[in-house]
Amino acid sequence: MTASGTATVDDDLWSAIGDPTRRRMLDLLLTDGEGTATTLSQRLPVTRQAVAKHLGVLDRVGLVRAVPAGKEKRYRVDDEQLARAAAQLASVGSTWDARLQRIKRIAETIHQNQQD
């Protein structure tokens, strides 16, 4: 948490999640429980090599964990890191909700003063 009471946002984590292909990969891994670059590439409109690079990004930020399986690696979502990302998103959402409420009150005050 920061001094203002909001959770510290991990920019690398959110950069990784920001890519639509990586989000789709996470969805597939969550649904299937695990996958390899080959199995994921069969379900996505990108090459196996592109999938492998995306998995590398997700692995670096801790969203997936790789386990060697023959010539490939099997990837699973790291539930703890995903929960951390969800908590950050909730915190950021709450912060912005509060900011928007303040803006709304200011706008209402200005509008009310203009009517007086």
Tell me: the pLDDT tens digits for 63-112? 999 999 999 999 999 999 999 888 888 887 778 878 888 898 898 889 88
Positive or negative, the CA dihedral 33, 37, 42, 46 is positive
Residue of higher predicted confidence among 13 and 3: 13
Q: Within 13 Å of residue 19, how many CA atoms lie on the same side as its CB?
A: 16
User: Tell me, what's the pLDDT at 55?
Assistant: 97
Beta bridge partner(s), residue 94 = none
43 confidence band (pLDDT: 50, 70, 90): very high
Mean pLDDT of the chain: 88
Strands (E), 9-109: 64-69, 72-77
Q: For residues 8 and 17, what is the distance between their CA atoms, to the nearest angstrom?
A: 16
Kindly state the DSSP code that residue 61 receives in the 8-state scheme. Answer: T
Beta bridge partner(s), residue 67 = 74
Q: Angle 78-6-91 (CA atoms, 0-180°, nearest 5)?
A: 55
Prediction pTM value: 0.73
